[in-house]
Amino acid sequence: MLTHAQIWTALDRLAARSGLSASGLAKRSGLDPTTFNRSKRITPDGRARWPSTESVAKALTATGTSFETFVELITDGAHKPSHAVPVIGFAEAGAGGYFDDAGFPAGKGWDEIPFPAVNDEHAYALEISGTSMEPLYRDGEIIIVSPSSPVRRGDRVVVKTAGGEVMAKELKRKTAKTLELKSLNSEHGERVLAMSDVVWMGRIVWASQ
C-alpha cells in the first residue's frame, strides 16, 4: 500500500534528479511554485495530503520521466544514498538570518532537497531566479555551495558583502586587500571588492545544467 510519504519522497527524488528544488520542479511543470512544498503536504487540520494526479503527471512530462521510472523512485532501493541539503532562493540569500558569520546556513526559512555525495556537512543549495547569470545558470536551476572548501583562482564562488549583497561570480584574483571577481554574464562588468567588505565566500561545487 502506498503512503503519502512515499509519493512525496518520489517527487523530491524526481526534483533532485533534474537538479531542482521542490518549488523549481513545480515551476518547470507549469504549476504554482508552492505546489510541492512541505507546507502543502499537510492540511490545516494536520492530516496528510496527497499530491494531485494532474500535478504528478505534469512533473513527469516536464522532466521527461516515465511513469515506470517514477514508480522506481518510490522504492527505497532505487535511489542512491543521499542526505538533506538546505535550500533557499538566490534572491533570498542576501536577507538577514539565513547565514552565520562564517557563511554557514543558519536560522529558519530553509527548505531541503535530497542530494547525494556532498562532502561538506555545511553545504547548501541556492535556486537561481532571473536571467542575470545566463547562460551559465538559468532560472530555476540549482547550485550547491560548499563554504568549507578551499577557493582558488578560476573557481566559481558565491560572495556576500557587508552591505548584504550576495553574488555568484568567478574568482579572478585575491590579495590581502582586494577580491577581483569576473561576472558569469558578459553583459555585467567585473567587480573589485575590498576584503574588508567581504563577509564570506563559498565555492560552487555543483550546478544543475
pLDDT in tens, 2-61: 788 888 888 988 888 777 888 889 999 999 989 998 888 888 887 888 899 999 999 999
Task: Decide which of 120 and 126 is more confident.
Answer: 126
pTM of the full predicted structure? 0.63
CATH class of domain segment(s) 84-207? mainly beta
Share of the chain above pLDDT 70, in %: 93
**Among the CATH numbers 1.10.760.10, 1.10.260.40, 3.40.50.170, 3.40.190.10, which is that of 4-78?**
1.10.260.40
pLDDT in tens, 146-170: 998 889 999 999 999 999 899 999 9
Give start-end residues of each CATH 2.10.109.10 domain in the chain. 84-207
Q: DSSP string covering the chain, please?
A: ---HHHHHHHHHHHHHHTT--HHHHHHHTTS-TTTTSGGGSB-TTS-B-PPPHHHHHHHHHHHT--HHHHHHHHSGGGS---EEEEEEEGGGTTSTTSB-TTS-B-SS--EEEEES----TT-EEEE--SSTTTTTS-TT-EEEEETTS---TT-EEEEEETTS-EEEEEEEEE-SSEEEEEESSTTS--EEEEGGGEEEEEEEEEE--
Give start-end residues of each CATH 1.10.260.40 domain in the chain. 4-78
Confidence of residue 200 (pLDDT cuts 50, 70, 90): very high
